[in-house]
Structure 1
């Protein structure tokens, strides 16, 4: 493939943007591919190369690059009314009502502008509601670019994971391993009276896709209840992808006190949201004393796109379609890995999928989860499958980025460029797209 125009655009971007990008995850090697337009489940780059797109904007594009007519009409009707008003609109009330009807944890909701803003606000709310300062997070979890969670290490030795975050923030953050019931119990035994919240992705979705082991979230729920702490589910990625309109919490059967959203809840436009019980969410100003505000919060075009997107999914076979394709991909990749790389682990659920290049595993795929790791103790791979962020980080991350991703790109299949970000099916994808992708896997793996 020719990428000359992308290279030229990157050269220009380096002169006016740090690293030539506006989000660090886009800084692929040897240079980013610049997109020109989308077409259903495909994307065309600046050089005219066409790819099957499984990145899907890192999750928000449930319908791919072509929106259903009712969604497009809703967006256009609200765009025609003007850019924005700085005033409440009926559409934000209707969207809030729809979400509250379908998501178990949500009675009240505050719309914001990004997933990061949602998690920042949720942590502030938890501290204000409980009068406590410490927050438990998962090692390898991701909750956006915020100081309270850009922290690594252990609960008794935490430190910032990036320059620019004061050590004082890390003092109030308690990282523990995901899926480790003993670690969760111990951190509450030591700090329980000081813990404002546990902030956790119901499925680690920014770290190779790690499913929870049986009983893990139930343990977190019980610990939070017993100690008066809030359980916050970060469903920025899993929301309205796992578990359909009820989100991952409905699929797992665990109801958090607070849920953060992004991506699909805005129909592909910039968005975030914090939902939960009315008692807790009304801690935000002006109802309560936890300050939260934003000029573009509840933007009418975003609200229209989000509401119409979810309504269309409720009335059509959207989740049946995307979940079926997701299963086809995971099953097909599992078969290919069994032949060519049995140590690798296929992960994902519903419309999410990924292959983690784990270094160890059984030489036979017999009796293994056929469509993505479910953390089944009866599975022959159970001891080798990733259960924490550290397990994913120990995989062949360089091989994915430097060899595999490059090879798939050359085959016309666009995957997320690192080992950690997950991939997504959309309503615009077809069985033919799946088959072509599996052919590329066979050629490259």
Structure 2
């Protein structure tokens, strides 16, 4: 593949953008390719190279790049009527009504502009509602670029994971490994009266894709109830992707007190949202005293894109299509690994997928979880499948990034640029895309 234009653009970008990018995960080696346009389930770069796109903007594009007419028309109509107003519009009410009808735990919403803004606001809300300061997060879980969750360490021995964050922020953040019920019990036993909330992704989506073991979310729910804390589900990634319109919480049968959304709920435009029980969400100003505000919140173009995307998904059986392709891809990947790298692990659910380059595992896939790891204790690979972010970190992350990712790119498959970020399937992908991707995996692995 020729990448002369991308290289030239990167050279220009280095002079005006730190690292040449506006998000650190885009900084691939030796330089990123620059996208010129999307086409269905594909992207085309500045040099005319075409790729099957499994990044999909890191998750927002449930329908792909070529939007259906009803979605496109709604976006164009609202853009033509005026960029934004600083006043409420009907479409933001309609999108809130759609979400509250379909997500079991959500009675009320506040729209914001990013997943990070949603989790920042959710943590502030939990602290304001409970009158407590401490929050529990999962080690290696990701909740956006916010000070309260950019921490490292174990239990109450935490420190900021980035320069620029005062130590005092980390003092109020407690960490436990995902899927470790014993650690969760211990931290609540020691600090329960001071814990405002436990914050977790239903499925770890930014550190590999790690499925919960049976009973883990139920344990968090019970601990929060017993200690008067709130359970926050970060569904920025899983929302309206895992579990369809009910989201992951519907698939797992868990009712969190607060849910954060992003990505798909904005139909590909910048968005975030905080949803939950009315008595909690009404603590936001102006109904309550917990300050939350934003110039671009409820932007009409974003609201229209999100509403029509979700309506289209509901009316056209989108989830059956993308989930069937996801099962086919993960099953095909397991067949490839059985022959070429049985120590590796296929993970994912519905339209999320990834191959984790785990270092240990049985030589056989006999009796394994079908179409990706589901943490079933009856599976012979159960003890070897990653249970938390630390386990994923022990995988061959350098091989994935330095050798495998470029090899897949050279074969026309665009994957997220490291071992940790999720990959996705959209409605515009076809069976042919899946077969072509599997051939690329077979050659690259």
TM-score over 0.5 for the pair: yes
- The aligned residue for residue 407 of structure 2 is 407
What SS class does the counterpart of residue 16 from structure 2 fall into?
A: coil
What SS does structure 2 have at the residue aligned with 1:362?
A: coil
**SS in structure 1 of the partner of residue 136 of structure 2:** strand
SS class of match (1:101): helix
Structure 1 residue aligned with 2:130: 130
Aligned to 2:225: 225
Q: Confirm whether residue 302 of structure 1 aligns to residue 289 of structure 2.
A: no
Distance 1:81 1:338 in 2: 55
User: What is the CA–CA distance in structure 1 between the aligned matches of 2:165 and 2:73, rounded to whole Å?
Assistant: 43
Q: Which residue of 2 aligns with 1:286?
A: 286
Deviation per residue, 1:321-361 (Å, 9 max, x gap): 00011111100000001100000000000000000000000
Give runs of aligned pairs for residues 164-203 of structure 1, distance below 5 A: 164-203=164-203
Confirm or deny that 1:323 pairs with 2:327.
no
SS of residue paired to 2:159: strand
SS of the residue aligned with 1:11? helix
1:94 and 2:122 correspond: no
Name the counterpart of 1:357: 357
* 1:169-216 CA distance string (max 9 Å, x none): 000000110000000000000000000000000000111100000000
Corresponding position of 1:387? 387
Structure 1 distance, partners of 2:146, 2:195, is 18
Query: Is residue 269 from structure 1 mapped to residue 252 from structure 2 by the alignment?
Result: no
Give the distance between the partners of 2:205 and 2:19, measured in 1 at CA.
25
Report the equivalent of 1:46.
Answer: 46
Where structure 1 has 5 or more consecutive residues not aligned to the other structure, the ranges are none
Aligned residue number for residue 210 of structure 1: 210
Name segments (4+ residues, structure 1) moved above 2 Å.
Answer: none
Residue 57 of structure 2 aligns with which residue? 57
Q: Check whether the contact 2:156–2:171 (CA below 8 A) recurs between aligned residues.
A: no
Structure 2 residue aligned with 1:245: 245
Q: Which residue of 2 aligns with 1:425?
A: 425
Shift of 1:374: 0.4
Task: Kindly provide the CA deviation profile for residues 216-253 of structure 1, in whole angstroms up to 9, marking residues without a partner as x.
Answer: 00000000011110000000000000000000000000
Asked if the contact 2:148–2:169 (Cα under 8 Å) also holds between the matched residues in 1, the reply is: yes
Would the aligned equivalents of 2:139 and 2:152 in 1 still touch at CA under 8 Å? yes
- The aligned residue for residue 156 of structure 2 is 156
Q: Flag structure 2 segments of 5+ consecutive residues without an equivalent.
A: none
Q: Secondary structure at the match of 2:442?
A: helix
For the residue of structure 1 that corresponds to 2:217, the secondary structure is helix
Whether the 8 Å CA contact 2:147–2:169 is kept in 1: the answer is yes
Matching of residues 3-14 of structure 1 within 5 Å: 3-14=3-14
Give the drift of 1:105. 1.1
Q: How many angstroms does 1:314 deviate by?
A: 0.8
Q: 1:381-412, CA deviations, whole angstroms, 9 ceiling, x for partnerless residues?
A: 00000001000000000000000000000000
User: Which residue of structure 1 aligns with residue 85 of structure 2?
Assistant: 85
Could you say which residue in structure 2 is the equivalent of 1:439? Answer: 439
For 1:426 and 1:342, locate their aligned partners in 2 and report how far apart those are by CA, in whole Å: 28
Matches of 1:66 and 1:323 in 2, distance apart? 19
Distance in 2, Cα, partners of 1:8 & 1:245: 43
1:143 is matched with 143
Contact 2:261 2:273 in 1 (8 A): yes
Instruction: Give me the whole-angstrom Cα distance separating, in 2, the residues matched to 1:42 and 1:63.
Output: 12
Q: Specify the SS of the correspondent of 1:298.
A: coil
Does the residue aligned with 1:116 lie in a helix, a strand or coil?
A: helix
1:77 deviation in Å? Answer: 1.0
CA–CA distance in structure 2, aligned partners of residues 13 and 246 of structure 1: 41
Tell me, in whole angstroms, the C-alpha distance in 1 between the residues paired with 2:227 and 2:394: 34
How many residue pairs were aligned? 445
| Pair 1:29-2:32 in alignment | no
CA distance in 2, matches of 1:290, 1:12: 43
In the alignment, the residues of structure 1 paired with residue 337 and residue 157 of structure 2 have an alpha-carbon distance, to the nearest angstrom, of 38
Shift, 1:317, TM fit: 1.3
1:370 Cα shift?
2.2
* Structure 1, 151-160 or 348-357: larger mean CA deviation: 151-160
Structure-2 separation of matches of 1:161 and 1:15:
27
- Alignment of structure 1 residues 57-76 onto 2, 5 Å: 57-76=57-76
Conservation of the 8 A alpha-carbon contact between 2:351 and 2:426: yes
Cα RMSD of the aligned pairs, angstroms, is: 0.5
Take 2:76 and 2:14, find their aligned partners in 1: how far apart are those partners?
A: 35
Tell me the SS of whatever aligns to 2:265: helix
Q: Map Cα deviations across residues 151-173 of structure 1 (whole Å, 9 max, x no partner).
A: 01011310011111110000000
In the TM superposition, residue 145 of structure 1 has moved relative to its aligned partner by 0.1
TM-score, structure 1 length as denominator?
A: 1.00
